[in-house]
Amino acid sequence: MKNGNQIMAEALKKQGLTYVFGIMGHPVIELAMCMQAVGLEYLGFRNEQAACYAAQAYGYLTQKPAVVLCVSGPGVLHVIGGMANAQVNCWPVLVLGGSCPQDHEGIGGFQEWPQVEACRPYCKYAARPPSATLIPMHVEKAVRLATYGRPGAAYLDLPATLLTQNVEENKITKVVPCPPSPLSYPDVRLIERAVDILMASKRPLVIVGKGAAYGRAEDAVRELISLTAAPFLPTPMGKGVVPDTNEHCVSSARTFALQQSDVVLLLGARLNWMLHFGRPPRFQETIKVIQIDLCAEELHNSVPSAVAIQSDIAPATNLLACALKSRKWRVDRRGTWWSELVEKVKKNKQLLHRMSLDTNVPLNYYTVFTHIQDVIPKDCIICSEGANTMDIGRTILLNDLPRHRLDAGTFGTMGVGLGFAIAAALYCKERAPRKRVICVEGDSAFGFSGMEIETMFRYKLPVIIIIVNNNGIYGGLDKETFRQVQSSGDPTQVTPPFSLTSETHYEKMMEMFGRKGHFCTTVQDIQQALKLSFQVTDSPSLINIMINPQADRKEQKFNWLTESKL
C-alpha cells in the first residue's frame, strides 16, 4: 500500500524533476518529508512568491521545471503572483497546492478556497487528481504542458484526503517520463521569402529575444550575425545570446536603430511594450517585420508581419543563415547604415563615459555601475530588478553568455531578484561551481523579498547582493530633507509616496547571521566591498551603496514606456 504523499513524491522523481521550493505546513508536511525521502532536493523559503520566482528561473535556466510546494488557501493565493509572472514570461514551473479535505468542502473547511478555479487563469494546466491512483498521470501531463510549446505554469491541487488516501500499488497508474519537447521546424518557403526581404533592405536590424536564449539558439544566432554583419539589438534577457561586446551590437544606439531600420528580423522577441509594439514613433510606418517565434498565436500580434515563421528559433535561424550565405548577402560595414549606427553608438558611449567619471559623493548610477562592471567576472550571472537600477544597469553591466541575465521581465514584476538569484546559484552549484551570481537591487525592490537572505544562508549560497540605494521608488529624499519633512506634520500626509527611509543600513541585516555587510559611499568603498565579497564562498554577501537620491538616467528622446493614444 502507498498513500498519496508517497505517490506524488515518486511521480515527481519519475519525471526527472530535481528541486522543490516552498513553504511547508498543513496539509503538505508529510509530502515535503516524502519528497526528501525519494531524493528530491527541498529548499524552504520565507515567502511563497519568492519560492515560485526561484522555481521558474530554474526552469528558464534548465528547460526543466522546478516544483513549488505551498499550503492551502493563503499559501496558494501568495503563489499566484509567481505563477502569473511565469506565464507571462513563458517559463516552465509546476505548482503543488495543498487544499482542505474534500469532506470539509462547502461547510467552511480550514483555508477552504476554490483553488483550481483561482489558478486556472494564470497557468496552462490546472487540475485536481480525482484519486491517488491517478496522481502520476496528472504529474506527467503537468510537466508536459509546462514545457511543450510556449512554456508556462501548471498547477495541481492536493486535498488533504487525497494525500492520505491509501491505495494498492498495482492500481497506481503507470506512466513514462515526459519526453523532451519536440523541435518545430519552419516552412522553407517562408525562409526564402524572408531572405528576399532582407536582401532588398537598406537598413536591416536583428532583434534577439529571450525566446532565443531559452531555445538554446545562441550558436545559430551568432553564426547568422557573423555571416551577415547585420546590426543587432538584444532584449533585456536576450543579452548574451550574442555577446554584448560583439562589434555588431548596437544597444548603445537602440532608439536610432529602431527608428531608422526598414526591415526588422525578430528572433524569439515579442512586439509588446518592451519593443514599443513595433509601431511609430519608435518604428517607421513602413517597417517590414520578419517574425520567427515558437508560438503561432504570437505571429502578427501587434502589427502584421511581412513574413511570420512558426518555428523553434535555432533551426529557423540555421536555415536562414545558410540561405543568406548561399546568396552571398552581407551588410556593408562601410555603407551608410553602418556608418550612421557606429557614429551614434560612439556618441552615446562617450556620454555615458563622461557621466561615469563623476566620482563626487553622493555617487550617480553610471559611476556605480561602471566600477561594478570593472570588477565583476565576465561570466557571472546578473540578476537585477528595480526601476532605474535595472534599466541603467542593463546598459552598463554586460553579458557575453546567454541566460546570464535575469530581471523583472515582461510582467515588470518587482520582488523577483532574490528568488532568481537563489535559482541561479543552484544552477551554478550543479554546473559551474566557480561561477558567481550577482544580484543588483534597487532599495525598493530589495524590500519585497529581503528576508530570503536567510534562505541563502541556510543553503550556503554565495550570492553577492548589491543594493543601489537612492532612498526611494525611482528616487527619494536626502537625509536632511527627509528629517525636515518627517518633523513637519503627520508622516502619512507629508512623506512623499515615492520616499523610503533615508540612508537605511540594509547591510546590517548580515549581522543577524554573524557576518558583516558593506556600506559604501565612494568608488573605493565599492571596489573594496566587491573584493572582500568575492572571497566568500559559503554564504551571501550584501553591499549597500548610497547614491544621490535625485540621480536619474540620461535624458531620453522618448519615454521608456510608450504612451497610449486613447
CA dist., res. 19 & res. 329, Å (int): 47
Q: Which residues share a beta bridge with 547?
A: 363
Q: What is the pLDDT of residue 563?
A: 67
Q: What is the pLDDT of residue 552?
A: 77
CA dist., res. 159 & res. 375, Å (int): 51
Using CA atoms, how far residue 451 sits from 46, 384, 456, in Å, is 7, 17, 9
- Domains in the chain: ranges and CATH: 2-171 (3.40.50.970), 188-344 (3.40.50.1220), 358-546 (3.40.50.970)
Could you tell me whether strands 2-3 and 166-167 are parallel, antiparallel, or unpaired per DSSP bridges?
antiparallel
All three cell numbers of 126: 490546472
User: pLDDT tens track of the chain, all 566 residues?
Assistant: 999 999 999 999 999 999 999 999 999 999 999 999 999 999 999 999 999 999 999 999 999 999 999 999 999 999 999 999 999 999 999 999 999 999 999 999 999 999 999 999 999 999 999 999 999 999 999 999 999 999 999 999 999 999 999 999 999 999 999 999 999 999 999 999 999 999 999 999 999 999 999 999 999 999 999 999 999 999 999 999 999 999 999 999 999 999 999 999 999 999 999 999 999 999 999 999 999 999 999 999 999 999 999 999 999 999 999 999 999 999 999 999 999 999 999 999 999 999 999 999 999 999 999 999 999 999 999 999 999 999 999 999 999 999 999 999 999 999 999 999 999 999 999 999 999 999 999 999 999 999 999 999 999 999 999 999 999 999 999 999 999 999 999 999 999 999 999 999 999 999 999 999 999 999 999 999 999 999 999 999 999 999 999 987 666 655 667 766 65
DSSP 120: G
CA dist., res. 390 & res. 384, Å (int): 6
Q: Quick check: 146 and 87 in contact, CB under 8 A? A: no
CB within 8 A of 179, min separation 6: which ones? none
Q: What share of the chain is helix, strand, coil (3-state, %, to 5)?
A: 45, 15, 40
CA dist., res. 501 & res. 472, Å (int): 8
CB within 8 A of 501, min separation 6: which ones? 471, 482
All three cell numbers of 219: 550558436
Q: What is the pLDDT of residue 562?
A: 73
Backbone angles phi, psi at 453, to 5 degrees: -55, -40
